[in-house]
């Protein structure tokens, strides 16, 4: 097929069947950090829909690293097998499996988004595994005016987080994942180290941009030491933080180069995540970051952010602006986005191989019947 969005792409020894990725999207539906049937079905439907890579939601490397009590985790061995079940299903459908390892820092222990606050009844708290805890951060600065003031991390705290990322990486390996994405975006812990507004440290991890980059780079190097050399490591970053005199694209170019030197294979280019940030979402509003970092840092990139139509996604790849397109809300709205895109971009093709075999033959028959009737009624040229 001529549209390069459907061409395979290889990172290290891993080949993806196409360039379309399902973004890590928090579901706030785990109990004790353990994946359940919701996660299997939620993620599995993207594999059935033809995605080349599906990345599991932000998965905390420690209990205190969760955004909420409903987040997934990889801080204990009991969390491995439910994730392995998901990985095995994705693989059975020709889809590769990624996982985003994360620590929320000062944005931890927050309410489930659709509740608008800690509104759980006593019965719900017991059933949902409700927990709350004091957050940690680079500095004792709250995320916003109504947020809890976090505890500033000392050397022992930093060492624990390094060890937590290493242990979670080893568990991800045992679960069979193909890709790890390091979460250094959206105002979470590693992004908090990077941003001057949230990092007021006076030691080697604060002050200059080089010092503020130090801890995220150490975490990337820690993961790379444990993660198989033949498997790719991605990193998601906020290319701009949207704050005056804050983190900018030029900083991100330097960071991307440094990540590359530590074994990161692709930069997933997002933005924002800080209270008071000025970010104006619009179609393709972050694609320019992926293009700039790919060109200037000489590293593979992924474009994400309100990419909704097949034509938009195809143009990003064909124009060399990014190596992958990553869909979030568009994927939630249409888990079959890739198979629908293939049909839209090449309506003359009779290739339904991206559909699961249990489905493709039936969809082909439906399209043939509808096409014949449209031609007969003069609605389609023959």
Q: What is the pLDDT of residue 127?
A: 96
248 touches 209 (CB < 8 A): no
Four-point Cα dihedral 315, 317, 318, 320, nearest 10: 120
Q: What is the pLDDT of residue 382?
A: 46
Among candidate residues 266, 279, 290, 172, the one with its CA nearest the CA of residue 228: 172
| Segment 319-337, tens digit of pLDDT | 999 999 999 999 999 999 9
Q: What is the pLDDT of residue 369?
A: 86
**Which are the contacts of 148, defined by CB distance < 8 A and separation ≥ 6?**
106, 109, 134, 135, 142
46: tokens are: 């993207």
For residue 169, the surrounding DSSP H or E stretch is helix 155-175
Q: What is the pLDDT of residue 370?
A: 84
- List Cα–Cα distances, 339 to 20, 362, 364, in angstroms: 11, 14, 12
Q: What is the pLDDT of residue 1?
A: 39
- List Cα–Cα distances, 123 to 34, 44, 229, in angstroms: 20, 30, 46
- Could you give the CA distance from residue 122 to residue 130 in angstroms, rounded to a whole number? 9
Label residue 117 left, alpha or beta by phi (over 0 means left) and psi (-120 to 50 means alpha).
left
Q: What is the pLDDT of residue 381?
A: 52
Q: What is the pLDDT of residue 222?
A: 98
- Provide the annotated active-site residues: 188
Domains of the chain, earliest start first: 4-349 (3.20.20.70), 358-382 (no CATH)
**β-bridge mates for residue 11, sequence order:** 14
| Segment 353-372, tens digit of pLDDT | 999 999 999 999 998 888 75
pLDDT averaged per 10 residues in sequence order, the chain, 382 residues: 81 98 98 98 98 98 98 98 98 98 98 95 96 97 95 98 98 98 98 98 98 98 98 98 96 98 98 96 96 98 97 97 98 97 89 92 89 60 49
Q: What is the pLDDT of residue 2?
A: 45
């Amino acid at each position: 097929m001529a549209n390069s969005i459907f061409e395979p792409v290889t990172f290290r020894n891993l080949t993806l069947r196409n360039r379309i990725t399902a973004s890590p999207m928090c579901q706030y539906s785990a109990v004790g950090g353990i994946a359940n049937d919701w996660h299997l079905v939620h993620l599995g439907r993207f594999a059935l829909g033809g995605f080349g890579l599906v990345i599991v939601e932000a998965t905390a490397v420690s209990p205190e690293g969760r955004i909420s009590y409903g987040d997934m985790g990889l801080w204990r061995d009991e969390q491995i097998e439910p994730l392995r079940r998901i990985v095995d299903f994705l693989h059975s459908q020709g889809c590769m499996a990624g996982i985003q390892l994360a620590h929320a820092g000062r944005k931890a222990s927050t309410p489930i988004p659709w509740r608008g606050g800690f509104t759980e009844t006593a019965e719900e708290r017991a059933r949902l595994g409700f927990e709350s805890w004091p957050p940690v951060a680079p500095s004792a600065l709250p995320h916003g005016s109504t947020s809890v003031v976090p505890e500033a991390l000392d050397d022992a705290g930093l060492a624990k987080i390094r060890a937590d990322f290493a242990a979670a990486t080893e568990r991800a390996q045992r679960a069979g994942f193909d890709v790890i994405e390091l979460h250094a975006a959206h105002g979470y812990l590693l992004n908090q180290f990077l941003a001057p507004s949230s990092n007021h440290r006076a030691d080697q991890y604060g002050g200059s941009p080089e010092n503020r980059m130090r801890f995220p780079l150490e975490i990337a190097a820690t993961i790379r030491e444990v993660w198989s050399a033949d498997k790719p490591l991605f990193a998601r970053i906020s290319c701009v933080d949207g704050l005056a005199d804050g983190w900018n694209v030029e900083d991100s170019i330097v960071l991307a180069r440094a990540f590359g030197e530590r074994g990161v294979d692709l930069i997933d280019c997002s933005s924002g995540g800080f209270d008071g940030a000025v970010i104006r979402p619009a179609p393709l509003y972050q694609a320019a970051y992926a293009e700039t970092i790919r060109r200037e840092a000489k590293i593979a990139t992924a474009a994400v952010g309100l990419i909704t139509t097949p034509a938009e996604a195809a143009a990003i790849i064909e124009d060399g602006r990014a190596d992958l397109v990553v869909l979030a809300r568009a994927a939630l709205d249409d888990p079959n986005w890739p198979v629908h895109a293939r049909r839209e971009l090449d309506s003359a093709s009779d290739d339904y191989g991206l559909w699961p075999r249990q489905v493709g033959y039936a969809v082909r028959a439906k399209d043939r019947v509808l096409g014949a009737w449209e031609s007969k009624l003069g609605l389609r040229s023959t």
